[in-house]
Amino acid sequence: AKKKATNVSIKSELLEKAKKYRKNISANVEKTLEKIVREYEIQNWEKENKEAINSYNQRISEHGVFSDELRSF
């Protein structure tokens, strides 16, 4: 994806240490932000899909699943 420049405020001591250890600030911020966003998406998936899940469960409760008649167990 295309990258976009942005401004970020970071504690000066932390920034100095990162530069001292030759850490790529942009790459590490991006990696951490991707992880945070992914965790948020995972945590909120069920909440965002609750209505559809409840609807599906209600339909299955009322009508069963298509393979009910085919199963031997």
Cα–Cα distance measured from residue 47 to residue 56, given in angstroms and rounded to the nearest whole number: 15
Torsion of CA 53, 55, 58, 62, to 10 degrees: -130
Per the CB < 8 A criterion, the answer to whether 31 and 21 are in contact is: no
The dihedral through the CA atoms of 17, 19, 25, 31 has a sign that is negative
Within 8 A by CB and 6+ apart from 62, the residues are: none
Q: For the full predicted model, state whether its pTM sits above 0.85.
A: no
pLDDT for residue 1: 87
> Token pair of 28, please?
């590490």
pLDDT in tens, the chain (73 residues): 899 999 999 999 999 999 999 999 999 999 999 999 999 999 899 899 999 999 999 999 998 887 777 777 6
